[in-house]
Chain A
Amino acid sequence: MTEIVPAEGIFALLWVIIALPAAGAAILLFAGRRTNSWGPILGVLTVVASAVISVLMLLALMERPAKERTVVQNVYDWVFVGSFQASFALQLDQLSMVFVLLITIVGALIHIYSLGYMSHDRDRRKFFGYLNLFVAAMLVLVLANNYLLLYVGWEGVGLASYLLIGFWQHKPSAAAAAKKAFVINRVGDVGLSLAIMLIFVTFGSITFQDVFGQASDASEGTLTAIGLLLLLAAAGKSAQFPLQAWLLDAMEGPTPVSALIHAATMVTAGVYLIARSNAIYDAAAWAATAVVVVGLITIFMGAIIGSAKDDIKKSLAGSTMSQIGYMVFAAGLGPIGYVYAIFHLLTHGVFKAGLFLGAGSVMHGMNDNVNMRRYGALRGVMGVTFVTFMAGYLAIIGIPPFAGFWSKDEIIHAAFERNSIIGAAAILAAGVTGFYMTRMIAMTFFGKKRWEDDAHPHESPSVMTIPLVLLALGSVFLGMALLFWGDIKDWLKPVVGYESVPTPLPTSFYIAVTLIVVIIGAIIGWVMYARRDVPIEAPTGNALTRAARQDLYGDAVNDVLVVQPTYRAAEMITTFDNKAVDGFVNWTGTFVGDLARRLRRSQSGFARSYALSMVGGALIVAIALVLVVLS
């Protein structure tokens, strides 16, 4: 068991990491217009400062022996009711450390990029305020030492995401997308709040330390229930099947938002939750299996959607779903997979942020057009964007030695350690990834010009390209750095556990097969979209393409399962009030009927039915009480 170290030295600043962006958000949002000129810069600086502090903490943490790397800082006692105690207490350990680094460093780069991307926007100050708010909430989420505080961050990132998706209020589609994201996320939140309740009932505490310490004492049924509820929560936040529908619409937000929130950080919160709760999943095999199944379904759904969309951001969003599917899938594999789930999360966070910012750079030069059918041959005019995008491309499809190769390859290998069939499925999905990403670069940077008449593509300013370059460097080197220099397996092992199981065939075999499948996918994509002409109007396509363009009918499913039943229930209750109750009045000639008729004359349309429904309620109460007595 690792011991908890009080927050001293540099770690006394733990709360400052959160407080800086939170203060930035408060100043930008409340101080109003007078901060218009310097507000964005302040927003950037707070996150950069947090990033610097977290790097210092990483260095301090690395100097300590592995057992002493869990630091807890109690900021204040938040809710203490009877036996229920929740503190505003922060916990920094190896797992939260890597998340803090990802959030602050990628967050800082995206803040800087936004200085350029949003330079023409009237509400720039608010944008940076919301971004700061998001960073603060996300840091609360990963630094919480108990589930309730995690829930605070969880809702906070949801709120910030909602505000940012709807940032361009003038587009009705953005407002609709924001609402959809919020409501679907609430479904996941229900899972989380029920899980917290159940955890509290079972363990009498909600701090990670207490819960994981006693996880093995609880019954497997309870643990399975907790695991499934947490999975529901993770599915909502991480856009996993069946709560995936919001992520594609979320692309209505400004592109830096898509990069930061809907690719690199917030959507990985579900993976964090599962990895953090590893002690529960390790003792609940069924819940872990459900995690694998959800991950696997989403890998394919996302890949298929990514293959069919012509909107570059939505295609990337499909890809994000798919890649997070890989992480969730890996986390479900148990101790052989957690480490790789987090590893892939980190590399993906960097290269996907790079890809999104690259897409933003392309859009910036193309009058905000997102239709890849109107791109083509952009490699000549946007050199830096092209090269950095290619780095991200090679990383995501998993070509060695780019970052994604190391992490994805490890996941596939871990899958084979568990079961050859799911391993094969993971390889197949890697092939589809090769296809859709090749399609994307072919349609964007290669082939013929299919530009709109008024498009004058140009390279973006350096405030945008410098973050692109830095992220591209990450796309190239981060995988190797984490694996060989950072020794990610040993680093995370004390928190999430790690074990390795021998596979039937040597590792190099799986690597070779994966690479061959990916290259086949890429070649198909190249032949279809670079060698042949891409029509400007999308062809009808086959049934799968059409379904994928409709997000695999995610909306239709939501509509049938959630939206329609709610409205129908409301209708039914209203009808019951209006028809059934009134009908009863007409039918009965009793005192109540008389009273009701008299009430009707007293100018009120419905008081009679109200009174009648009270009588009905009184009957229910009386009957129920009598039944209780007689039984």
Chain B
Amino acid sequence: MNYSPPAIDYVAIAPMIVIFGAAIVSVLVEAFTPRSVRRYLQLLIVFGSLIAAAALIVINASTRVVTAGQAIVIDGPALVLQGAIVIIALLGAALMAERSIDSVGDAFASRVSSLPGSEEEKQFTQRGYLQTEIWPLTLFAVLGMMLFVTSNDLLIMFIGLEIMSLPLYLMTGMARRRRLLSQEAALKYFLLGAFSSAFFLYGAALVYGYAGSITFPEIAQTVTSKPGESLVLMIGLGMVLIGLLFKVGAVPFHQWVPDVYQGAPTAVTGFMAATVKIAAFGALLRILYVAFGGVRWDWEPIIWIIATLTMLVGSILAVVQSDIKRMLAYSSVAQAGFILIGVAAASAAGIASTMFYLIAYGFTTIGAFAIITMVRDAGGEATNLATWSGIGRKSPVVASAFAVFMLALAGIPLTSGFVGKFGVFAAAIEAGMVWLVIVGVVASLIAAFFYVRVIVVMFFAQPTDQTASVVVPSAFTTVALAAGAAVTVILGVVPQPVLDLVANADVFIR
């Protein structure tokens, strides 16, 4: 049997190669360089490779190819989503690089393998060791996300999913403070993530059984050419969907979200809340539109149901949260529901509006979590809403920025959130889904309630002796926060350049 290696367009996948190479080097740096220089080398590698990848994506902007033997596709949506992932990962990395907020050092356990509360842990902390293992993990996670949105077959998609997820499970468990909570979250995330991966794999097997191929274009061909509908195909599709809906945090696959968001170090929470959503929705869009576009009448109802449940449950449960990280977690569940409206539209406008929403949401989320890292009391981050009362009077600038993020998440005009919501709603209405949009509007009404509650607490409540203080961060966090706030406002006031960008990239090639 002759084996001829598939032709690979190395230029098209250069951004991924850069990140992959950087991740490998980063592991080597971790292993072979002295502790004193590690941080500088790692920061150089991480920021350098992310910036290089972003530049390569820009250079590749007009590339539209299927490469690596149908396995990888670089097209408009892939480039836009990769770009968004890389840039938001830059901001996320800036949050993780912060070392002047916590007086002990950074936000990560000095040695993750030491038992919480043990003598070993105490020694490591006393010696002032700070770890840098977070960096290779970050790079691998970014690589997984980039692969996830460019995969053109079920197997590569699964590999992307796992490359993305495994580092994130570890990063979740790395918090310096409240380590048990963090480790518990990591374990839960891992168990449930593995569970959802199993669904995905099983579904992929069933789809292969039906279509005789794992590449999306061939699946699409079989799906449209075979007459009638098949139970095998539908159950396979359902299982694959579950794997992806788990990653975006859609109801009823959402329950890990609050625990993980709360337990993970806040910088990591911000990073993954923003980027995983982009990557997973990118994959969801591609699989639904490319492979199963021919049977969209079959999967649309299930997306309606999930979107409705997600918006309502997320919004309603967020109302009763008293912890700000948990509230943002439920809010992210609700936002996933809104984004699903764009997915359900199953049109070019649906792709464009979903991508715009993801970009808008990513920057807002990073900014919001950046502020959470800065609001602290004696026990570390003060995430109880009660400790935020009156913060607006002590630190008006930071509180105003947080208010902008809350208003954006609530979808108030002249913020990115408004344009994003309007885009997905308009796409769904053009596709005739008026009821779904009505549910969306009602859910956003409920959601406005808890976003506004935070603003009330910050500005209209009296500071008490429990009120946390806002720590002045170094340039890392400041830049991430400023970028998040600036993009949130700019995408609300002059969204047209980005709207054009996503509108010119709304076609999946096969």
* Chain A positions within 8 Å of B313 at CB level: 573
Judge whether A151 is part of the interface by a CB distance below 8 angstroms: yes
Among B63-71, B229-237, B365-373, the stretch in contact with A: B229-237
Among A185-193, A376-384, A443-451, the stretch in contact with B: A185-193
- The one of B306, B393, B456 in contact with A175, judged by C-beta atoms closer than 8 angstroms, is B456
Judge whether B442 is part of the interface by a CB distance below 8 angstroms: yes
Contact of A169 with B253 at beta-carbon distance under 8 Å, contacts A159-B412, A620-B305 already known: no
Q: How far is the CB of A390 from chain B (nearest CB, A)?
A: 37
The complex places the Cα of A84 from the Cα of B459 at a distance, in Å, of 37
B462 & A170 in contact (Cβ 8 Å cutoff): yes
B423 & A566 in contact (Cβ 8 Å cutoff): no
| Binary per-residue interface labels of chain B (460-472) against chain A in the complex, 1 for a CB within 8 Å, 0 otherwise | 1110000000000
A628 & B252 in contact (Cβ 8 Å cutoff): no
A79 & B419 in contact (Cβ 8 Å cutoff): yes
Contact of A567 with B320 at beta-carbon distance under 8 Å, contacts A604-B184, A625-B302 already known: yes
B426 & A200 in contact (Cβ 8 Å cutoff): yes
- The one of B242, B301, B319 in contact with A566, judged by C-beta atoms closer than 8 angstroms, is B319
The complex places the Cα of A152 from the Cα of B411 at a distance, in Å, of 11
B413 & A197 in contact (Cβ 8 Å cutoff): no
The complex places the Cα of A166 from the Cα of B423 at a distance, in Å, of 32
CB under 8 Å from chain A, chain B span 185-212:
187-188, 191-192, 195-196, 199
* Chain A positions within 8 Å of B256 at CB level: 610
| Binary per-residue interface labels of chain A (63-98) against chain B in the complex, 1 for a CB within 8 Å, 0 otherwise | 000000000000011111111100000000000000
Q: Which residue of A lies closest to B239 (CB)?
A: A618
Q: Which residue of B lies closest to A605 (CB)?
A: B184
The complex places the Cα of A570 from the Cα of B321 at a distance, in Å, of 10
| Binary per-residue interface labels of chain A (604-631) against chain B in the complex, 1 for a CB within 8 Å, 0 otherwise | 1011011101101110111011101100
Judge whether A418 is part of the interface by a CB distance below 8 angstroms: no
On chain B, which size bracket covers the interface?
35 or more
B252 & A186 in contact (Cβ 8 Å cutoff): no
B188 & A625 in contact (Cβ 8 Å cutoff): no
* Chain A positions within 8 Å of B429 at CB level: 197, 200-201
A183 & B449 in contact (Cβ 8 Å cutoff): yes
The complex places the Cα of A455 from the Cα of B136 at a distance, in Å, of 72
The complex places the Cα of A78 from the Cα of B422 at a distance, in Å, of 13
B441 & A194 in contact (Cβ 8 Å cutoff): yes
Contact of A80 with B496 at beta-carbon distance under 8 Å, contacts A573-B317, A611-B191 already known: yes
Judge whether A501 is part of the interface by a CB distance below 8 angstroms: no
Judge whether A574 is part of the interface by a CB distance below 8 angstroms: yes
| Binary per-residue interface labels of chain A (132-161) against chain B in the complex, 1 for a CB within 8 Å, 0 otherwise | 000000000000000010011001100100
The complex places the Cα of A28 from the Cα of B275 at a distance, in Å, of 36
B192 & A629 in contact (Cβ 8 Å cutoff): no
* Chain B positions within 8 Å of A512 at CB level: none
The complex places the Cα of A620 from the Cα of B442 at a distance, in Å, of 24
| Binary per-residue interface labels of chain A (179-218) against chain B in the complex, 1 for a CB within 8 Å, 0 otherwise | 1001100110110011001101100000000000000000
Residue with the highest number of chain B CB atoms closer than 10 Å, among A179, A189, A617: A617
Number of A-B contacts (CB under 8 A): 191
B452 & A566 in contact (Cβ 8 Å cutoff): no
The complex places the Cα of A569 from the Cα of B437 at a distance, in Å, of 21
* Chain B positions within 8 Å of A617 at CB level: 242, 245, 251-253
A618 & B319 in contact (Cβ 8 Å cutoff): no
Residue with the highest number of chain B CB atoms closer than 10 Å, among A151, A577, A606, A614: A614
Q: How far is the CB of A130 from chain B (nearest CB, A)?
A: 12
Judge whether B349 is part of the interface by a CB distance below 8 angstroms: yes
The complex places the Cα of A169 from the Cα of B390 at a distance, in Å, of 9
A169 & B459 in contact (Cβ 8 Å cutoff): yes
Q: How far is the CB of B171 from chain A (nearest CB, A)?
A: 18
A82 & B349 in contact (Cβ 8 Å cutoff): yes
B301 & A628 in contact (Cβ 8 Å cutoff): yes
Q: Which residue of B lies closest to A165 (CB)?
A: B460
The complex places the Cα of A179 from the Cα of B461 at a distance, in Å, of 12
B426 & A613 in contact (Cβ 8 Å cutoff): no
Judge whether B224 is part of the interface by a CB distance below 8 angstroms: no
* Chain B positions within 8 Å of A625 at CB level: 234-235, 237-238, 298-299, 302
Contact of A81 with B319 at beta-carbon distance under 8 Å, contacts A187-B445, A190-B445, A629-B231 already known: no
Contact of A179 with B234 at beta-carbon distance under 8 Å, contacts A78-B496, A79-B495, A190-B442 already known: no
The complex places the Cα of A434 from the Cα of B111 at a distance, in Å, of 78
Judge whether B425 is part of the interface by a CB distance below 8 angstroms: yes
Judge whether A178 is part of the interface by a CB distance below 8 angstroms: yes
Judge whether A174 is part of the interface by a CB distance below 8 angstroms: yes
- The one of B238, B446, B460, B461 in contact with A622, judged by C-beta atoms closer than 8 angstroms, is B238
* Chain A positions within 8 Å of B234 at CB level: 622, 625-626, 628-629
Judge whether A599 is part of the interface by a CB distance below 8 angstroms: yes
The complex places the Cα of A388 from the Cα of B184 at a distance, in Å, of 70
Judge whether B352 is part of the interface by a CB distance below 8 angstroms: yes
CB under 8 Å from chain A, chain B span 318-354:
319-320, 348-349, 352-353
CB under 8 Å from chain A, chain B span 348-399:
348-349, 352-353, 393
The complex places the Cα of A169 from the Cα of B425 at a distance, in Å, of 36
Contact of A624 with B305 at beta-carbon distance under 8 Å, contacts A169-B393, A566-B316 already known: yes
* Chain A positions within 8 Å of B301 at CB level: 624, 628
B446 & A566 in contact (Cβ 8 Å cutoff): yes
Residue with the highest number of chain B CB atoms closer than 10 Å, among A77, A78, A200, A609: A78
Q: How far is the CB of A473 from chain B (nearest CB, A)?
A: 37
Judge whether A603 is part of the interface by a CB distance below 8 angstroms: yes
* Chain B positions within 8 Å of A567 at CB level: 319-320
Contact of A621 with B302 at beta-carbon distance under 8 Å, contacts A82-B349, A197-B426, A614-B242 already known: yes
- The one of B255, B312, B438, B446 in contact with A610, judged by C-beta atoms closer than 8 angstroms, is B255
A166 & B460 in contact (Cβ 8 Å cutoff): yes
Judge whether B61 is part of the interface by a CB distance below 8 angstroms: no
A78 & B495 in contact (Cβ 8 Å cutoff): yes
The complex places the Cα of A581 from the Cα of B348 at a distance, in Å, of 39
CB under 8 Å from chain A, chain B span 444-502:
444-446, 448-449, 452-453, 456, 459-462, 494-496, 499-500
B195 & A611 in contact (Cβ 8 Å cutoff): yes
* Chain A positions within 8 Å of B452 at CB level: 162, 179, 182-183
Residue with the highest number of chain A CB atoms closer than 10 Å, among B252, B305, B449: B252
Judge whether B241 is part of the interface by a CB distance below 8 angstroms: yes
B460 & A607 in contact (Cβ 8 Å cutoff): no
- 20 A-B pairs with C-beta separation under 8 A: A78-B495, A79-B419, A156-B414, A166-B456, A166-B460, A169-B459, A169-B460, A175-B456, A179-B452, A183-B452, A197-B434, A570-B320, A609-B255, A611-B191, A611-B195, A614-B199, A622-B239, A625-B234, A626-B235, A628-B234
Given contacts A76-B494, A200-B426, A617-B252, 4 further A-B contacts (CB under 8 A): A77-B496, A186-B449, A190-B445, A614-B253
Q: Sort A-B residue pairs by CB-CB distance and give the 7 closest, nearest first.
A: A175-B460, A617-B252, A610-B255, A625-B234, A152-B413, A621-B238, A629-B229
